């Protein structure tokens, strides 16, 4: 009995065409991926341009813009000095008159003004310039420069300049505090991004956010005060200020993420890093930025947090009322968004989307 040989030919289809199966994408790139290439190139280039604009434009157009200062002394002499200051820097200062040097010192201590010119009560007496370097080293330097032009007759001997709040010995240029601005902003943002990425339970996220804000606030202040020697204020008060600023940033990002997902993280990065950091005014003061960007920056967490940090580190908290109100609004808003987003995710109808099915191999047409 002979066996029929097994055929190895491809079975014919009803219309006589052979059928073959090829792996999907074999030998040719995915068209969808190539379509994304020019989009990504344009988007990333636009992002780079936006970053450069956000950080460079305020610096290029920086300078005194209605910086609050005072002239203290007899009315006639005060008016004369105020006119000289306005002529030297048109629109650069917002000048108020005060009765005497004591009132000027109080306004500087309260952070109502950055400096003052005290006119001598007796004819021929040289004016005295009061500054506060730790309030703004840039504005203090500007006032020092203007002091030499206040009384040309006494230019050789120089006008007396008194620094009521001088910098620390370890930070003679008073720039150490401004160096902490970017870590303060990035720390809160990166912490929030890590928390929402690594943790899923809302209670765990909340506990981590509160714990990080407290630990980070006290650790950063300890480094600034005892490690770098750039501050000498009340350690506990300054630490609480940093904690509050960090918490406001962290909870804002977490709230946006809970409500909007990845889009919330992108929106938070825009507010905190692209706008908030360059417009914070921590290095020179918000009045050194173009109008109205300096004022706008004070209503974002980085600007308000920087003002609160400087006020507590050098002025025992004076001048921090608006910053506290702004940060409280961001913190409470972030908490509200976080609760709302967490409840929405936990709702019965908000089940996690089913995993996508893998495409089945495509057979040749018959």
Burial 112-124 (b: 16+ CB within 10 A, else e): ebbbbbbbeeeee
Does residue 138 share a domain with residue 83?
Answer: yes
Residue 186 lies in a domain: yes
Does residue 241 share a domain with residue 102?
Answer: no
- CA-based nearest residue to 130, from 157, 156, 106, 154: 106
Number of domains in the chain: 2
8 Å CB contact between 158 and 152: no
pLDDT tens digits, one per residue of 47-81: 778 777 777 777 777 888 899 999 998 888 888 88
Residue 234 lies in a domain: yes
Residue 263 lies in a domain: yes
pLDDT tens digits, one per residue of 184-225: 778 889 999 999 999 999 999 999 999 999 999 999 999 999
Does residue 102 share a domain with residue 80?
Answer: yes
Instruction: Note the pLDDT of residue 110.
Output: 95
Does residue 181 share a domain with residue 144?
Answer: no
Q: What is the pTM of this model?
A: 0.80
**Chain Cα centroid distance, residue 2:** 88
Residue 62 lies in a domain: no
Secondary structure letter of residue 330 according to DSSP: H
Does residue 252 share a domain with residue 115?
Answer: no
- Is the model's pLDDT at 153 over the cut of 80? no
Lowest-confidence region among 26-30, 166-170, 198-202, 223-227: 26-30
Residue 132 lies in a domain: yes
- CA-based nearest residue to 191, from 172, 167, 210: 210
Does residue 92 share a domain with residue 147?
Answer: yes
Does residue 322 share a domain with residue 232?
Answer: yes
What's the mean per-residue pLDDT of the chain?
Answer: 83
Q: Which domain holds residue 151?
A: 67-163
Does residue 293 share a domain with residue 180?
Answer: yes
Does residue 294 share a domain with residue 208?
Answer: yes
CATH number of 113's domain: 3.40.190
Does residue 188 share a domain with residue 131?
Answer: no
Residue 35 lies in a domain: no
pLDDT tens digits, one per residue of 269-326: 888 888 888 888 888 889 998 888 889 999 999 999 999 999 999 999 999 999 999 9
Edge-to-edge strands, sheet with 93-98 = 93-98, 67-72, 115-118, 128-131, 160-163
Residue 95 lies in a domain: yes
Residue 259 lies in a domain: yes
Does residue 158 share a domain with residue 181?
Answer: no
pLDDT tens digits, one per residue of 301-311: 999 999 999 99
């Amino acid at each position: 009995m002979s066996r029929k040989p097994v055929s190895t030919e491809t079975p014919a289809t009803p219309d006589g065409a052979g059928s073959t199966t090829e792996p999907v994408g074999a030998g040719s790139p995915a068209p969808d991926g190539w379509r994304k290439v020019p989009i990504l190139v344009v988007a990333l280039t636009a992002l780079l341009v936006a970053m450069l604009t956000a950080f460079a434009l305020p610096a290029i157009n920086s300078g005194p813009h209605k910086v609050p200062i005072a002239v203290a002394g007899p009315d006639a002499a005060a008016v004369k000095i105020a006119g000289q200051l306005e002529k030297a820097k048109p629109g650069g200062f917002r000048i108020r008159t005060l009765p005497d040097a004591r009132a000027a010192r109080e306004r500087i201590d309260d952070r109502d003004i950055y400096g003052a010119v005290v006119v001598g009560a007796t004819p021929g007496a040289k004016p005295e310039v009061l500054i506060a370097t730790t309030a703004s080293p840039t504005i203090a330097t500007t006032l020092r420069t203007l002091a030499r032009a206040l009384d040309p007759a006494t230019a050789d001997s120089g006008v007396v300049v008194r620094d009521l709040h001088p910098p620390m010995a370890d930070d003679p240029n008073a720039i150490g505090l401004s160096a902490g601005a970017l870590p303060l902003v990035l720390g809160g943002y990166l912490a929030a991004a890590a928390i929402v990425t690594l943790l899923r339970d809302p209670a765990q996220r909340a506990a981590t956010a509160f714990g990080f804000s407290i630990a980070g606030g006290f650790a950063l202040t300890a480094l600034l005060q005892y490690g770098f020697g750039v501050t000498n204020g009340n350690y506990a008060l300054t630490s609480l200020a940093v904690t509050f600023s960090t918490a406001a940033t962290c909870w804002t990002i977490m709230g946006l993420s809970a409500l909007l997902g990845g889009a919330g993280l992108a929106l938070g990065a825009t507010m905190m890093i692209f706008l908030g950091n360059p417009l914070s005014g921590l290095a020179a003061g918000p009045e050194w930025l173009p109008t109205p960007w300096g004022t706008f920056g004070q209503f974002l967490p980085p600007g308000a947090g920087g003002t609160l940090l400087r006020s507590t580190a050098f002025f025992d908290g004076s001048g921090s009322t608006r910053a506290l109100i702004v940060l409280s609004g961001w913190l409470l808003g972030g908490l509200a968004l976080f609760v709302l987003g967490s409840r929405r995710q936990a709702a019965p109808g908000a089940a996690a989307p089913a995993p996508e099915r893998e495409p089945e191999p495509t057979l040749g047409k018959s």
